[in-house]
């Protein structure tokens, strides 16, 4: 058997590695050669479990494979390459079952997707050639991460045990091998269950293993890459950390030294290298007995140190070894960078801000739940690299490890490529225990907001000690996370829990853990919660400070205001920006004395590009837990676009998905721009990085880290300086007025007098208006400022107007560089000219339709009379799920006892050639109308695509060129140009909502489709023309469609609604 030398080993030899401490010489054995077998007969449910501090290998049971050790041969199981999980290769092969709320709540809403995960024991094994070792040396197998319980066997002997999810551990296999001969390394991994969605709240989202309750984690079972085999001296360095300092030329080295069986009294040699040369070295003495572990520390000053930054991520290598001669077998090496991240001004509650290397930084990030394509848990090098390049291409400078541990491979790449990382452990709240409860909040007082004026933050006393298994488990997980990741220059802060502000802030467990983190790593910000409201529990520790600030009577935010505005309209609309003091993501006045973070901004769910995803499953990666669901969604999309004539709009399935993705990227472009325009904002987080097939659809990349649209759209919002131009209306009727505001985003120090020019141009390029103003750039730490507001123009031409702005330096300015920016405004002709006017009859409860026909479209309708057969167009409008058209017709004078109002109208369509326009207000009334047509055999109604529960789930309309949409954007997704919302503020229940019908009929024309991420394989229609006899039936399903005809700022834009009505009423029948 040939010894495996992988690319990773070569990287170690070249001194290009990771910031995770590593042995100086280690053989990577995580390439080819592994086999996987789910041992479904193995017993595990009633096992006794052990935390790391409780493990005594000699007392643990040896669990052989079913059938004995001979079962782990070359014919059992399948060959795999790490990283991998059972789910990557066996998803559903042990059977499918419906998703339940305790596994994936959103999965319960789509019966077409099924849970195919495997709970139980799996074996992972391979053969290795063991090196020859000297007396006293040890042979160590290092596992970078596994889930969940891992038992390490070597030649059938138990040599390691770990139950900490996805965290590293070592196993000493020395006594189980014959040096120089082949040995079998076998890992028995048990996956008891877990979560396949984002939830990590405790205790609601803990999971059980027998009598043990575990904090939530992702429910896959498998093994990360980075499994190594190394030779270690009896006395060696077991851990090495580099701790940054505000002085960018200084770093503290902390080396943990361990002896197995020998006493040692001598030096630990420390060294820092850069570009192949030693830039600092020193010796620190240590004295320890056999079996003892001690830490030694040294401060290193490197006069010529080059700071690590986003643009120039300069890395250094630190090494600690027992003496100089035995570094290969006694040492540890880690990469690091000289950098410092902190918050300035928090103590003074005076306009604080964040800094990286003493310069203000506004963080631009997105929340990553830690899901990965194919195996679910870990990336390979290709995916990990794509994560970093995608984030930078989209204009982000940070990513959030959100409700989940960071992945070491990704952190290593971020260190080398220049991207920051924020980290949560996942289910951190479980470490607080249950003695103080999870919903009790004694910081709240109905009279004055806060009850305790002073909280004991020492973290001491009997209540600070862990009692329950789950709190011990989570505490150890958090601290191991800190030890593992503290040397990464890309990592900027730790946060214990996402959206955990309802906890009792007097719980000493909180402060014990924060102070334990501080003891391991004094250089980083430690935060209690992301996502809190005023008067809720928050606590903050700044680097090199023992003070814990917390929310109280005088400080609503504890120094760090982190609001989650998650939700919103699901599309960029005019309601997200009203004027310079009223817009989404503007820090409120009561938040300006703290760091202002938006930990989850809004949300706009979109589908993945499933055509691209399916193409990524090639001969090297032919399976994955997400494969079957991805294929089902792609097939459904493909069939709908083919069947209903959308191929001119979307020639390929990918073009359809990319168009939906572009809508999302435009939304985030605008939100990031206006958030940066507010100088009080410090930390901006998009509410989704990666999506999965069943959840987290607000992600802006998929779980393989492929883009969902054109990254240039979003990247525009990230440039260091730019003009932010905000029309107060995105879509308006011809003849309406609009106002323009202009901001300057300025992270370059631009200062002094400038001239601002604003020009509005018509679609043909002619100038509609122009304005010139003298303005001044503030510069310094003023990163966002208003330049001018309320610049007015009147939209006198239909089509896309262009608003063009320029900022030109005047004499005395700090730069000669000009800035330009342009935006579009969609002007809609809501009352177009038609060759002839039909005779229109209307049946409605109020006068919305009649008023618009009369006052806007200049045609006087009659009230619908079943006995009158002269109307060319009949309009039925309604709200609610069961409108009484007969009662309305009776009010109009219809005789009693005849055919129903709808039947009489359909008769006029069928026999007289009339057009019946069914005009609902939203989903509920539209669905009732569709059922009425189906009951009369006019159409076949097969299913219904219901509205989504929240905007981050994602829903969208898509339109092809059709006379129903004349004068409106077509062959597109309904985006900002429609200025419409998919998540309206409901006043009429579901009747304000979106929806679509899955229907069919001879000659049916679908002009607009609708779908969402909750019913991924179900695509419906929301605007159709149905031939019926000699005439036509027109049916719509858009939110607040009836109300929007006469009221502004609703889910459907008023000008859009009026134009849709005009098209339905005035377009001659020959148009079909």
* pLDDT single digits (tens) 201-248: 898 889 999 999 999 999 999 999 999 999 999 999 999 999 999 999
Residues 6 or more apart whose CB falls under 8 angstroms from that of 982 comprise 569, 570, 571, 947, 948, 951, 955, 956, 994, 1039, 1051
Which residue stretches of 47-176 are H helix? Answer: 86-90
Which residue stretches of 466-507 are H helix? Answer: 469-485
pLDDT at 894: 62
Coil vs helix vs strand at 336: strand
pLDDT at 159: 99
210, 45 Cβ separation under 8 angstroms = yes
Model confidence over 629-646: pLDDT tens digits?
999 999 999 999 999 999
Distance CA 711, CA 147 (A): 34
pLDDT at 399: 99
CB atoms within 10 A of CB 281: 14
Model confidence over 35-79: pLDDT tens digits?
999 999 999 999 999 999 999 999 999 999 999 999 999 899 999
pLDDT at 986: 54
The alpha carbon of 779 is separated from its chain's Cα centroid by a whole number of angstroms, namely 33
Rg (alpha carbons) of the chain, rounded to whole number = 32
CB atoms within 10 A of CB 943: 13
Residues 6 or more apart whose CB falls under 8 angstroms from that of 893 comprise 863, 865
Over range 995-1004, report the average pLDDT: 97
Its pTM stands at: 0.96
971, 986 Cβ separation under 8 angstroms = no
pLDDT at 443: 46
Q: 79's torsion region: left (phi>0), alpha (psi -120 to 50) or beta?
A: beta
Distance CA 375, CA 364 (A): 28
Model confidence over 758-798: pLDDT tens digits?
999 999 999 999 999 999 999 999 999 999 999 999 999 99
Model confidence over 283-329: pLDDT tens digits?
999 999 999 999 999 999 999 999 999 999 999 999 999 988 889 99
Distance CA 846, CA 194 (A): 53
- Of 922, 923, 983, nearest to 955 by C-alpha is 983
| Residue written as token pair 């479980």 | 430
Pairing of strands 228-232, 138-143: antiparallel
**pLDDT band with cut points at 50, 70 and 90 for residue 983:** low
Position 9 pLDDT exceeds 50: no
Model confidence over 620-631: pLDDT tens digits?
899 999 999 999
Complete DSSP assignment for 955-993:
EEEEE-S-GGGTTS--SEE--GGGT--SS---SSGGGGS
Element (H, E) at 6: none
Model confidence over 561-620: pLDDT tens digits?
999 999 899 999 999 999 999 999 999 998 889 999 999 999 999 999 999 999 999 888
Task: Give the DSSP letter of residue 144.
Answer: S
For residues 906-942, b (16+ Cβ closer than 10 Å) or e, as one string? bbbbbeeebbbbbbbbbbbbbbbbbebbbeeebbebe
pLDDT at 931: 96
Position 498 pLDDT exceeds 60: yes
What interhelical angle do 408-417 and 381-393 show, nearest 10?
50
Coil vs helix vs strand at 235: strand
pLDDT at 349: 66
pLDDT at 335: 98
pLDDT at 897: 55
Residue 1032 burial class via C-beta count within 10 angstroms: exposed 0-12, middle 13-18, buried 19 and up = buried
Question: What does each C-alpha distance from 191 to 72, 80, 882 come to in angstroms?
Answer: 19, 18, 50
Over range 852-870, report the average pLDDT: 95
State the number of CA atoms in the 13 A half-sphere of 377 facing the CB.
28
pLDDT at 559: 94
Element (H, E) at 353: strand 353-356
pLDDT at 1: 32
Domains of the chain from N-terminus onward: 34-223 (2.60.120.260), 384-717 (3.20.20), 719-828 (2.60.40.2550), 840-1071 (3.40.50)
Position 442 pLDDT exceeds 50: no
CB atoms within 10 A of CB 304: 7
Coil vs helix vs strand at 351: coil
């Amino acid at each position: 058997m040939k010894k495996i030398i992988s690319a990773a080993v070569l990287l170690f030899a070249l001194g290009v590695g990771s910031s995770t401490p590593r042995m100086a010489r280690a053989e990577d054995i995580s390439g080819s050669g592994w086999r996987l077998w789910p041992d479904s007969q193995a017993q595990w449910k009633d096992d006794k479990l052990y935390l790391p501090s409780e493990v005594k290998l000699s007392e643990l049971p040896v669990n052989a494979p079913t059938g004995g050790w001979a079962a782990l041969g070359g014919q059992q199981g399948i060959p795999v390459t790490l990283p991998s999980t059972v789910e990557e290769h066996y998803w559903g092969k042990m059977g499918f079952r419906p998703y339940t709320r305790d596994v994936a709540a959103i999965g319960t809403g789509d019966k077409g997707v099924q849970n195919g995960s495997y709970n139980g024991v799996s074996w992972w094994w391979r053969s290795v050639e063991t090196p020859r070792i000297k007396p006293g040396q040890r042979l160590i197998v290092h596992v970078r991460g596994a889930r969940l319980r891992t038992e390490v066997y070597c030649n059938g002997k138990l040599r390691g045990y770990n139950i900490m999810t996805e965290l590293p551990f070592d196993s000493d296999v020395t006594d189980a091998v014959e040096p120089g001969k082949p040995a079998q390394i076998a890992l028995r991994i048990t996956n008891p269950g877990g979560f396949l969605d984002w939830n990590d709240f405790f205790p609601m989202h803990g999971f059980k293993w027998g009598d043990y309750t575990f904090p939530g984690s992702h429910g896959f079972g498998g093994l990360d890459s980075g499994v190594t085999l190394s030779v270690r001296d009896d006395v060696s360095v077991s851990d090495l950390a580099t701790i940054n300092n505000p002085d960018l030329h200084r770093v503290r080295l902390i080396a943990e030294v361990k002896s197995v069986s020998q006493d040692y009294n001598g030096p630990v040699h420390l060294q820092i290298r850069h570009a192949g040369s030693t830039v600092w070295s020193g010796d620190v003495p240590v004295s320890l007995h056999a079996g003892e572990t001690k830490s030694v520390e040294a401060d290193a000053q490197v006069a010529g140190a080059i700071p690590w930054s986003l643009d120039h991520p300069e890395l250094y290598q630190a090494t600690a070894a027992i003496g100089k001669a035995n570094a290969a077998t006694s040492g540890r090496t880690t990469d690091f960078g000289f950098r410092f991240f902190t918050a300035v001004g928090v103590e003074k509650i005076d306009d604080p801000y964040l800094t990286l290397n003493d310069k203000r930084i506004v963080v631009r990030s997105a929340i990553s739940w830690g899901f990965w394509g194919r195996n679910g848990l870990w990336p390979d090098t290709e995916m990990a690299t794509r994560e970093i390049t995608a984030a930078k291409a989209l204009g982000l400078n940070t990513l959030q490890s959100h409700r989940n541990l960071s992945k070491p491979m990704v952190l290593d790449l971020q260190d080398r490529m220049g991207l920051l990382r924020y980290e949560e452990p996942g289910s951190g709240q479980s470490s607080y225990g249950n003695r103080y409860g999870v919903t009790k909040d004694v910081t709240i007082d109905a009279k004055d907001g806060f009850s305790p004026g002073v909280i004991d933050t020492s973290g001491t006393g009997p209540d600070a000690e862990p009692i329950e298994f789950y709190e011990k488990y989570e505490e150890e997980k958090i601290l191991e996370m800190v030890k593992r990741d503290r040397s990464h220059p890309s990592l900027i802060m730790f946060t214990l829990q996402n959206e955990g502000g309802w906890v009792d802030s007097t719980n000493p467990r909180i402060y014990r853990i924060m102070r334990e983190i501080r003891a391991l790593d004094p250089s980083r910000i430690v935060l209690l919660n992301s996502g809190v409201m005023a008067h809720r529990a928050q606590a903050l520790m700044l680097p090199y400070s023992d003070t814990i600030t917390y929310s109280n009577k005088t400080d609503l935010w504890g120094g760090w205001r982190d609001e989650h505005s998650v939700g919103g309209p699901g599309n960029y609309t005019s309601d997200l920006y009203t004027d310079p003091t009223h817009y989404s993501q503007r820090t409120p006045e009561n938040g300006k004395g703290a760091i202002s973070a938006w930990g989850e901004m809004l949300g706009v769910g979109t589908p993945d590009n499933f055509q691209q995803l399916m193409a990524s499953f090639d001969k090297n990666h032919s399976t994955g837990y997400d494969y079957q669901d991805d294929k089902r969604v792609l097939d459904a999309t493909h069939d709908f676009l083919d069947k209903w004539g959308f191929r001119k709009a979307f020639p390929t399935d990918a073009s359809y998905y990319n168009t939906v993705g572009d809508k999302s990227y435009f939304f985030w472009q605008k939100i990031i721009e206006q958030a940066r325009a507010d100088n009080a904002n410090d930390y901006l987080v998009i509410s989704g990085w990666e999506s999965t097939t069943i959840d987290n659809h607000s992600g802006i990349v998929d779980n393989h880290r492929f883009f969902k649209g054109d990254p240039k759209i979003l990247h525009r919002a990230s440039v260091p300086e730019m003009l932010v131009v905000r029309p107060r209306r995105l879509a308006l009727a011809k003849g309406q007025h609009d106002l323009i505001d202009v901001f300057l985003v300025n992270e370059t120090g631009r200062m002094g007098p400038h001239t601002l020019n604003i020009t509005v141009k018509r679609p043909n390029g002619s100038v509609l208006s122009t304005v010139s103003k003298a303005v001044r750039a503030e510069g310094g730490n003023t990163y966002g400022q208003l330049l001018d507001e309320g610049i007015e123009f009147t939209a006198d031409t239909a089509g896309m107007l262009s608003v063009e702005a320029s900022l030109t330096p005047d004499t005395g300015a700090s730069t000669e560089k000009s800035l330009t920016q342009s935006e579009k405004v969609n002007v809609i002709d809501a009352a177009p000219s038609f060759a002839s006017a039909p005779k229109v009859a209307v049946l409605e409860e109020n006068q919305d339709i009649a008023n618009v026909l009369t006052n806007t479209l200049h045609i006087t309708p009659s009230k619908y009379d079943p006995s009158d057969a002269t109307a060319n167009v009949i309009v039925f409008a309604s709200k609610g799920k069961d409108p009484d058209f007969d009662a309305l017709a009776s009010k109009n004078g219809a005789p009693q006892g005849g055919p129903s109002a709808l039947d009489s109208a359909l008769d006029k369509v069928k026999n007289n050639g009339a057009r019946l326009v069914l005009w609902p207000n939203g989903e509920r009334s539209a669905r009732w109308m569709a059922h009425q047509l189906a009951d009369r055999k006019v159409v076949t109604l097969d299913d219904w695509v219901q509205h989504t529960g929240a905007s981050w789930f994602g829903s969208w309309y898509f339109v092809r060129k059709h006379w129903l949409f004349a004068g409106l954007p077509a062959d597109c997704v309904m985006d900002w140009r429609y200025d419409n919302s998919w998540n309206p503020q409901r006043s009429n229940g579901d009747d304000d909502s979106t929806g679509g019908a899955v229907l069919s009929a001879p000659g049916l024309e679908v002009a607009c489709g609708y779908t969402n991420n909750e019913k991924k394989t179900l695509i419906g229609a929301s605007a159709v023309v149905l031939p019926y006899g000699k005439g036509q039936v027109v049916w719509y399903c858009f939110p607040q469609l009836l109300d929007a005809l006469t009221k502004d700022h609703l889910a459907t834009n008023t000008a859009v609604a009026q134009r849709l009505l005009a098209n339905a009423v005035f377009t001659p029948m020959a148009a079909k």
